[in-house]
Chains A and B, each alone.
Chain A
């Protein structure tokens, strides 16, 4: 019974929405930092709704739990409340380079989010280094997305793109 309901719901969504929902492609650059001591940054990437509530954690690159709190916003919005989620999305820290990430338009529970205004949030904090927060608003309604965020000290250039169906 439950299963058939879900199938019906998926079908209904599929009919009312675009034929194929394209993912949000995220290109994230971590800059090469040559001044001072360099340790790989802790980085979190997530999506917030228009009330700045976290709806989907995409990536968290970190090592020891002791320092996750230094990703201040990430810790407050997501990390502290849901240990299994953080553990499930944890990856190793990464050095300078460009990384391709994607968001499939679903929340942490795997349900498609409603059309509306969202923001991609990227936070990076480095031991003996700086911290930076990037917030980029976008409209999630099936239309194409092409946005660029200029590079900063701890987070390099960020590009958001989504192809229209």
Chain B
């Protein structure tokens, strides 16, 4: 009895820890006025916005150059509270820094009314599921943490959406987000506007104020919401969405992203 309870607790903890922690990609600079420089990027999981709690594996970190090609960090190291990566910026334009991005599959099911889960897609589940399993749902999950860095003139190649999963587009370039000016965000799921998706917008310094002052935003029928950053500083946008999926691997897709960005001084 005791063993069972312990197991349940630990699995609950694993699930809640995975949900509670936010992945962050936070560059030392979002804007540079010289090519050929290096920036250092913090990679960590956090509860409070931009308060590093846990360093993450650096293998999943990549740099998308202004022309769309993918590069690795010049160097990277995992720390206990945060990991860091040095990134070279050899050319002008906008770079995308990204953590994660690989889809993961898990299958949830019930046996005699008890909820269980195994890691694997539909094919793997078909082999491993107990014969009496019911309510079987396989989810394709993907989480990405991102930031955009712009050297000299901004470019759009790394902002383009692919029609795959949950994606966002702004009505202005990320390098043009300015305190006091409204920004409209469009969320799409597999290329179509995603209505009713919840997003959270938070800003730097939660450790040093009582009210985190997060904005809870929801997309309208056009898949859009708007916000106006009141002050210049660093912001974090988080969103996730679910949808049915027609695939040999999963029944459902769950997609999430976090984007760190700065609102510049007017």
- Chain A residues with CB below 8 A from B34, complex form: 64-66
B115 lies within 8 A of chain A by Cβ: no
Task: Give the residue name and chain of the A residue nearest to B150 (CB).
Answer: A80
Q: Which of A47-103 contact B (CB under 8 A)?
A: 64-69, 72-73, 75-76, 79-81, 83
Assess the B264–A67 pair: CB atoms within 8 A.
no
Assess the A66–B31 pair: CB atoms within 8 A.
no
- Cross-chain contact of A72 among B152, B153, B265 (Cβ < 8 A): B265
**Shortest Cβ distance from residue A16 to the other chain B in the assembled complex, whole angstroms:** 36
CB-defined interface of B244-265 with A at 8 Å, one 1/0 digit per residue? 0000000000000000000011
- Chain A residues with CB below 8 A from B31, complex form: 69, 75
A131 lies within 8 A of chain B by Cβ: yes
Task: Give the residue name and chain of the B residue nearest to A65 (CB).
Answer: B34
- Cross-chain contact of B176 among A64, A68, A76 (Cβ < 8 A): A76
- Cross-chain contact of B33 among A73, A79, A131, A133 (Cβ < 8 A): A79
Measured CA separation A75–B153 after assembly (Å): 9
Assess the A131–B265 pair: CB atoms within 8 A.
yes
Task: Give the residue name and chain of the A residue nearest to B35 (CB).
Answer: A65
Measured CA separation A73–B37 after assembly (Å): 21
Total A residues in contact with B, Cβ cutoff 8 Å: 16
Assess the A76–B264 pair: CB atoms within 8 A.
yes
Q: Which of B133-185 contact A (CB under 8 A)?
A: 150, 152-154, 175-176, 178
Assess the A68–B33 pair: CB atoms within 8 A.
yes
Assess the B153–A69 pair: CB atoms within 8 A.
no
Assess the A133–B153 pair: CB atoms within 8 A.
no
**Shortest Cβ distance from residue A142 to the other chain B in the assembled complex, whole angstroms:** 30
- Chain B residues with CB below 8 A from A69, complex form: 31-33
- Cross-chain contact of A80 among B33, B37, B178, B266 (Cβ < 8 A): B33
Measured CA separation A113–B32 after assembly (Å): 31
Measured CA separation A67–B33 after assembly (Å): 7
Assess the A75–B265 pair: CB atoms within 8 A.
no
Task: Give the residue name and chain of the B residue nearest to A131 (CB).
Answer: B265
Task: Give the residue name and chain of the A residue nearest to B177 (CB).
Answer: A76
Assess the B152–A83 pair: CB atoms within 8 A.
yes
Measured CA separation A156–B58 after assembly (Å): 49
**Interface pairs (24), CB distance under 8 Å:** A66-B32, A66-B33, A66-B37, A67-B33, A68-B33, A69-B31, A69-B33, A72-B264, A73-B264, A73-B265, A73-B266, A75-B31, A75-B33, A76-B175, A76-B176, A76-B178, A76-B264, A79-B33, A80-B33, A80-B150, A80-B152, A80-B153, A81-B153, A133-B265
Q: Please name the 10 residue pairs, one residue from A and one from B, whose CB atoms are nearest each other, closest first.
A: A69-B33, A68-B33, A65-B34, A72-B265, A81-B153, A69-B31, A80-B152, A66-B34, A80-B153, A72-B264
Which residues of A approach B to under 8 Å, CB–CB?
A: 64-69, 72-73, 75-76, 79-81, 83, 131, 133
